[in-house]
Amino acid sequence: MPELPEAETVARQLRSGIVGGCLTQWRIGRADIVREGLATAGWYQGGKIIDVNRVGKSVVLTVAKGDERRHMAAELGMTGLLLFRLPSPRYEKHTHVTLTFSGCQESALHYWNPRRFGRMYLLDDAGLARFVKRRFGIDPLTASWTEFHRVVSGRRGRVKALLMHQQAIAGIGNIYANEILFRAGLHPHRIAARLREPAIRRLYDCMQDVFAQAIEAGGSSIRDFIAPDGRQGRFGRQHLVYNKTGQPCPNPGCHRVIRRLTGERSSFYCPACQPRSR
DNA sequence: CGTTGAACCTGTTTGC
DNA sequence: TGCAAACAGGTTCAAC
């Protein structure tokens, strides 16, 4: 469920809710949720949360203890949530990790994930550097035009596949890939390397606009995303094509309907506003 | 290098 | 109503 705007929303709430707090308890319900570093789990007890960041679609907590520092990276997969409290008893079933804090605004953090795609990784500085390097490419919020242009023009595959390829550009998933391509007027099957400069520019600008608006709205809650404070994201109201098969294209003067392609996940697009080639 | 499809899981929605 | 199939925001791996 979480793409960049949802992960960013989570990271921001954690920053104000738990940074400065002391990790007093740390319960791992399912050991297989921790993919790496399980042996270091005991170290975290008594540590202080000094920072929370988003990397791609993952959320990274940094914990300090004495002069040592370690990290907990949470991958949320399709259905993962980090919650300050469980909204209802039905969430108890798939809560795999619970952290308890003192000395900060929130007293707990629960990792809930019914499908269990997504894991937690316990890493030291070098481990985190390796984790980030092997998984994530440029970040949509901070990548310069030059970097973005280089990544797009060097790809021989489809532009939608490129947008969703985490090692190239980190943080875009199926919802935002569709919304960005519609706004940029690009068919998902256009070949990235064959796009001309104005098209790449539109892609860059639309990516930044969509993410700025989506973060502002707290992300998209299609079925069950809720932020740590329990609130839903409101960006779904601004979706123009995602999950809108058969509905009229929202562009003024366009009388076509949104179509859906299957294959590389579902692609929603307008056949007139996003021509296959030009 | 790039694409495709399957696998990993559970829950909900859709269609007959 | 009942049941099976399809589908869901992600990542990874094998095969081509």
Residue A263: predicted pLDDT: 76
CA A207, CA A88: separation in Å to the nearest integer?
35
A265 CB less than 7 Å from any atom of strand C: yes
Residues of chain A falling short of pLDDT 50: none
Interatomic CA–C1' length for residue A154 and nucleotide C14, angstroms: 25
Residue A184: predicted pLDDT: 98
CA A247, CA A232: separation in Å to the nearest integer?
24
User: Is A2 among the catalytic positions?
Assistant: yes
Residue A224: predicted pLDDT: 86
Q: How many CA atoms lie within 13 A of A183 on its CB side?
A: 21
Positions 193-232 in A, CB within 7 angstroms of strand C: 219-225
* Strand B nucleotides where any atom sits below 7 Å of a protein CB: 1-5, 8-12
pTM, entire model = 0.97
User: Is A265 among the catalytic positions?
Assistant: yes
Sign of CA dihedral A211, A215, A220, A225: positive
Query: Catalytic pick from A6, A8, A57, A140?
Result: A57
Interatomic CA–C1' length for residue A210 and nucleotide C9, angstroms: 16
Interatomic CA–C1' length for residue A57 and nucleotide C9, angstroms: 11
Residue A277: predicted pLDDT: 78
Q: How many CB atoms lie within 10 A of CB A30?
A: 13
Residue A278: predicted pLDDT: 63
